[in-house]
């Protein structure tokens, strides 16, 4: 990595911390149908308004040892985790894509994925308003910036959404339980618009793999606990992120194995 790339990457990480803090607010307030701008950030327990010092990403959480400064109630670890993950995601995206127009698409993509993951892990909802805004922005960006032909992204929108819809249907008919929500279907359609057909299919593979691995670990940890299912959104988001950053080289590597052995 050269010095300039390193500089971009560190800058992106710092922006990620701040944006992550904002995504926490969006991901939580949008679900509760509250305004994003008002009231200012406050403790959910004692309602005390938070000052600038309480809003420094990650550091204020560590400094206060995960408790509210005013009422000492515990603060959810989702906040610093969301901030850190956004910082890492922004940094990795910038490092992988480099300074180019596609980086705009990449950072917008990561942002929508983060907000959906935060809302889904907290409330098991992928908010319509976030996914639909994401789709609108993605569509406009892809008209302008499209490494693949534009039709590929539009087709992937239907392939991604359609595939998840089929999985949802078969899970209802075969397993007799709802495995996939409408939010997951819309999120996958959105991913199609950004990633194109090939990487959308790879996202499905990566997300299923991550979800299965997590499920296996969970089963070992608490085997007797009743299975209440896990929100799939964060796994879809992680799969999409991996696919967007490394899908192409992984697929090529895999194809080279088939061709030369």
Question: What does the per-residue mask of binding to Zn ion show for 82-121, with x meaning CB under 5 A?
Answer: ----------------------------------------
Task: Specify the residue, 72 or 219, whose C-beta has the smaller distance to Zn ion.
Answer: 72
Question: What does the per-residue mask of binding to Zn ion show for 3-42, with x meaning CB under 5 A?
Answer: ----------------------------------------
Buried b (16+ CB within 10 A) or exposed e, 236-257: bbbbbbbbbbbbeeebeeeeee
Task: Specify the residue, 68 or 207, whose C-beta has the smaller distance to Zn ion.
Answer: 68
Note whether 205 and 247 are within 8 A (CB).
Answer: no
**Can you tell me whether residue 93 is helix, strand or coil?**
helix
Angle at 59 between CA 37 and CA 43, to 5 degrees: 40
**H helix runs in the chain, sequence order:** 3-29, 59-63, 78-97, 101-123, 128-144, 150-174, 182-221, 233-242, 248-260
How near is the Cβ of 75 to Zn ion at its closest, in Å? 8
**Can you tell me whether residue 56 is helix, strand or coil?**
coil
Task: Specify the residue, 59 or 73, whose C-beta has the smaller distance to Zn ion.
Answer: 73
How near is the Cβ of 64 to Zn ion at its closest, in Å? 10
Four-point Cα dihedral 4, 10, 15, 21, nearest 10: 170
- Among positions 43-82, residues that touch Zn ion (CB under 5 A) are 43, 45-46, 68, 70-71
Residues constituting the chain: 261
What phi, psi does 228 have (nearest 5°)?
-105, 10
How near is the Cβ of 183 to Zn ion at its closest, in Å? 31
How near is the Cβ of 20 to Zn ion at its closest, in Å? 21
Q: Is 140 in the site for Zn ion (CB under 5 A)?
A: no
How near is the Cβ of 71 to Zn ion at its closest, in Å? 3
Closest by Cα among 123, 117, 134 to 235:
117
How near is the Cβ of 50 to Zn ion at its closest, in Å? 9
Residues that bind Zn ion (CB under 5 A): 43, 45-46, 68, 70-71
């Amino acid at each position: 990595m050269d010095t300039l790339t390193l500089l971009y990457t560190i800058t992106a990480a710092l922006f990620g911390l701040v944006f992550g803090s904002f995504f926490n607010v969006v991901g939580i307030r949008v679900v509760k149908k509250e305004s994003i701008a008002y009231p200012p950030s406050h403790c959910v327990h004692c309602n005390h308004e938070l000052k600038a010092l309480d809003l420094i990403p990650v550091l204020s959480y560590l400094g206060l040892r995960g408790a509210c400064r005013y009422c000492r109630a515990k603060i959810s670890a989702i906040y610093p985790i969301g901030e850190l993950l956004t910082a890492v995601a922004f940094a990795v995206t910038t490092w992988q894509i480099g300074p180019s127009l596609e980086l705009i698409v990449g950072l917008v993509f990561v942002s929508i994925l983060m907000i959906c993951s935060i809302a889904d892990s907290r409330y098991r909802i992928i908010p319509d308003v976030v996914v639909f805004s994401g789709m609108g922005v993605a569509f406009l960006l892809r008209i302008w910036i499209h490494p693949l032909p534009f039709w590929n992204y539009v087709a992937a929108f239907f392939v991604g959404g359609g595939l998840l819809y089929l999985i949802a249907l078969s899970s209802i008919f075969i397993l007799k339980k709802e495995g996939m929500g409408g939010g997951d279907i819309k999120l996958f359609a959105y991913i199609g618009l950004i990633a194109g057909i090939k990487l959308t299919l790879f996202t499905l593979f990566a997300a299923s793999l991550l979800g299965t691995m997590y499920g296996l670990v969970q089963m070992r940890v608490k085997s007797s606990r009743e299975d209440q299912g896990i929100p799939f959104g964060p796994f879809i988001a992680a799969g999409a992120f991996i696919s967007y950053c490394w899908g192409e080289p992984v697929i090529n590597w895999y194809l080279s194995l088939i061709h030369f052995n």
